[in-house]
Structure formats: C-alpha cells, structure tokens
C-alpha cells in the first residue's frame, strides 16, 4: 500500500506541474539490461536528472573514443533529441550510428571554448524534453559540475560528460572531485574471438570508479550494439580457462 501511495502522489505532482505550465521532472533510471551491472547501481540503472562522467583508459586515454561510444549508447536508449556539445568536430557519425545513436537524432552544438560547452550543456539540461545532453570537456570544475547537476535535477534530463584530453598529462584531472553521480572509465580490450577468421564484436573493460550511494565495480563487456546495448563478456582469464577446457575436452 505504501508503494502504491507513493506512485499516486508522484503522478499527482506531475499532473499539477503540467497544469501550472512547468516542466515535468522525470525521476527515473535507465537500466542497462545487464543484472550484474544494474545491480550495483542505486535504482537499478543510470539515473535521469543527474550528471555522469566518462573517460577513456589505456591506449584510448587521450582520444576517448570508447568513452564517447559508451555515452552514445546510453543516449541512444533515451527518448527525444540528443544535444551534443563539443569544441572539436571530429566525431565519426557511422560509429555513433553503430552504437545506436543515429545522427538524425543529434543536435550538435560546436563551441570555441570549454566555457561555452558548459553554458550550452546547462542550457540544454534546463530546457527539458530532451533525451540526453552530452558534453565533451577537458576539465570539469566542482562549481561547474554542481551547476550542471542542478540543471539536470530541475528537468530530469540525463547529462553525460565525456572527458577528452589533448595530452596524456591532462588525464590526471579525472581524479578531481565533481558533483557527478557516476564516473566511468572505458578501456578497449581485444575483440571477442570468432569460430572463423575475422574481427569479432569490440570489447571494453568497464570501470565504475565512483557511484553515489553505491560501490565501485569492474566488468568486461561487449561494446554497444545498434540498439545501444552492452552485454557481459568473458575476461582475459576466463577466455584462457575456456580455451583450456576446450583443448582438454578433445
């Protein structure tokens, strides 16, 4: 009864906000559909109305390509237009589409300075009605992250910050405190093996480095598919064990 009462009250509040002409705040979570990952995230998924950070690891620390594709896959599973703010217009559109985010859904906002990227993100998050707001940043100061977080909370829009650096030394900024709800590092690992010669599905080593009211975790996953979804994949040690079992069974 208590749970049902809370749902009724929440519904009434949303209806009142709509009648008053305000933006309806969406309080919800976006699950990955992978129980092992959703289980470590409070609410069972990525929180709407919050800021989430992503950065590349390993050989992709500077370019952040895997981190951008991971963010694209998350944005692809939201509803509505996606605003992508950046200073370097070097995104590879077919790669975004392969991760589930068709360029026709994306409004690209190109800025000269990172301050303009932050301002554009804040404006997009405050607007409401968008699927997601993505921003590529070198630095994310605490004050700026708090402003983004407050804007996201206001409308319930999910904010995704992709940290991209121009040089390796700048990557140390990723350890500085921010107001983000989650912080992820995405590293490219060898693709999955196929029974025939060829290149298998790309794989990532996914590190949940920070989560509010939760614990850190690590996963080997298959990269986002055309629906923006990931799945668990065997780690290097598991693959060696599987190969040993296969050889021994012959």
Is the predicted pLDDT of residue 87 greater than 60, yes or no? yes
| 119 against 12, higher pLDDT | 119
In this prediction, residue 15 carries a pLDDT of 57
In this prediction, residue 1 carries a pLDDT of 45
Buried b / exposed e over 135-151, threshold 16 CB at 10 Å, is bbbeebeeebbebbbeb
Q: Is the distance from CB of 82 to CB of 75 less than 8 angstroms?
A: yes
Is the predicted pLDDT of residue 65 greater than 50, yes or no? yes
> Parallel, antiparallel, or unpaired: how do β-strands 29-30 and 46-47 relate?
antiparallel
Q: How many whole angstroms separate alpha carbon 244 and alpha carbon 121?
A: 50
In this prediction, residue 3 carries a pLDDT of 43
Is the predicted pLDDT of residue 246 greater than 50, yes or no? no
What number is the average pLDDT over the span 10-34?
A: 64
* Domains of the chain, earliest start first: 46-248 (3.40.50.300)
Rounded mean pLDDT of the chain? 86
Q: For the segment 26-62, what is each residue's pLDDT rounded down to a tens digit? A: 559 999 999 999 999 999 999 999 999 999 998 888 8
Q: For the segment 133-155, what is each residue's pLDDT rounded down to a tens digit? A: 999 999 999 999 999 999 999 99
Q: How many whole angstroms separate alpha carbon 228 and alpha carbon 69?
A: 9
Buried b / exposed e over 157-180, threshold 16 CB at 10 Å, is bbbbbbbbbeeeeebebbeeebbb
């Amino acid at each position: 009864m208590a749970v049902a009462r809370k749902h009724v009250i929440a519904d009434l509040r949303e209806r009142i906000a709509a009648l008053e002409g305000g933006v309806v705040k969406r309080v919800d979570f976006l699950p990955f559909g992978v129980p092992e990952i959703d289980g470590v995230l409070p609410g069972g998924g990525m929180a709407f109305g919050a800021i989430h950070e992503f950065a590349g690891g390993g050989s992709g620390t500077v370019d952040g390509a895997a981190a951008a594709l991971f963010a694209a896959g998350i944005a692809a599973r939201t509803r509505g237009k996606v605003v992508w703010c950046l200073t370097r217009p070097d995104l590879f559109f077919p790669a975004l589409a392969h991760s589930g985010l068709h360029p026709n859904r994306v409004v690209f906002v190109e800025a000269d300075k990172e301050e303009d990227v932050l301002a554009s993100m804040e404006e997009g998050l405050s607007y409401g009605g968008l699927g997601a707001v993505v921003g590529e940043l070198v630095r994310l100061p605490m004050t700026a992250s708090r402003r983004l977080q407050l804007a996201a909370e206001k409308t319930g829009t999910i904010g995704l910050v992709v940290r991209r650096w121009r040089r390796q030394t700048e990557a140390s900024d990723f350890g500085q405190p921010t107001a983000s709800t989650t912080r992820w590092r995405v590293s490219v690992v060898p693709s999955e093996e196929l029974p025939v010669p060829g290149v298998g599905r790309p794989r990532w080593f996914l590190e949940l480095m920070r989560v509010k009211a939760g614990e850190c975790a690590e996963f080997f996953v298959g990269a986002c598919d055309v629906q923006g979804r990931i799945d668990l994949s065997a780690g290097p040690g598991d693959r060696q064990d599987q190969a040993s079992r296969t050889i021994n069974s012959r």
